[in-house]
Amino acid sequence: MIVIHTYTTAVIMVIITMLCWGSWANTQKMTTHKWPFQLYYWDYALGVLLLSLVLAFTAGSIGTEGRSFLPDLIQAEIGALGSAFLGGVVFNIANILLVAAISIAGMAVAFPIGIGLALVLGVLVNYIATPLGNPVVLFSGVALVTTAIVINALAYRKIPATTKVTTLKGVAISLLAGFLMAFFYRFVAASMATDFVSPEAGKLTPYTASVIFALGLLVSNFLWNTLFMYKPLAGEKVTYTDYVTKGNVRLHLIGMLGGVIWSIGMTFNIIAAEQAGFAISYGLGQGATLVAALWGVFIWKEFKDAKGVNGLLTAMFLCFVLGLALIIVSRIY
């Protein structure tokens, strides 16, 4: 399988993760008025699994280092498989809640709050498990990201009162999504070998972990997403019949594209984790908050009706950038 050997390469891969994780939700925004997010989410889940399989049978099955995908899958212990699968289950409920929050409050609100909280808690959980990097520098970066979240909340308060009630509901759902999102990565990390070149017996390579994670996501969709289809947090109830009769090829492909984009980010992130450490890799990946906020502010114009927010948004972005920079250098100093 393909393995990386330098921290610089790991940072580049995690920056790609950041771009992917911050951009996939645009596909959901593209279908919002024609396609309820619950139906979109089935295609998204399929896209995550398909891309993970493509990478597993290509990059995960060539080269002379590590274990190829199928031999790795065969030798894996039940505990490792179960941990990666559970990561997919936990991520799925968190992400469905996040997608619901995006539908209610918009990307510029849902992402900074939900993913920002996930970043703070997730870095802490993963650093305790695998303490790589300078903790002072790392958590200073996390503190700056937290500051950016607070600033975003202040900007939210300037949204006109006519939309604030709905947005408040979105904020609450975003917080719950962020709390759950903080823990899925630790399950995936626990399933993986610490040495990708010579992985220990019973553990998974990142390519295999990505596939099992995606299976956990898709299988749990029959529980989590079915619940949200028939008991929605926003909008009308939808059914499986609606998925078959109301969709078209374009809508299905857009949803699958969203899953593919996210899955590229996930696989790249856990491949980079050997060199970067799980806390840094996860933390940088969740810099997706910044990318999503940029989309929300400048493309989707989600703060267009708010007055006097330009200074707050500028400060928010500055704190995010400085915080992410500190997270990167925490592995060096």
pLDDT digits (tens, 9 = 90+) for 201-242: 999 999 999 999 999 999 999 999 999 999 988 778 999 999
Q: pLDDT tier at 34 (50, 70, 90 boundaries)?
A: confident
Give the three-state DSSP class for 217: helix
Higher pLDDT, 326 or 22: 326
What per-residue confidence (pLDDT) applies to 165?
Answer: 53
Predicted confidence at residue 168, as pLDDT, reads 80
Q: What is the mean pLDDT of residues 162-171?
A: 66
Model pTM score: 0.91
87-134 pLDDT tens trace: 999 999 998 998 788 778 776 677 778 877 898 899 999 999 999 999
Token code pair at residue 69: 């995908």
Please give the average per-residue pLDDT across 194-204, as a whole number: 96
* Burial label, 169 (beta-carbon count in 10 A; 0-12, 13-18, 19+): middle
SS3 303: coil
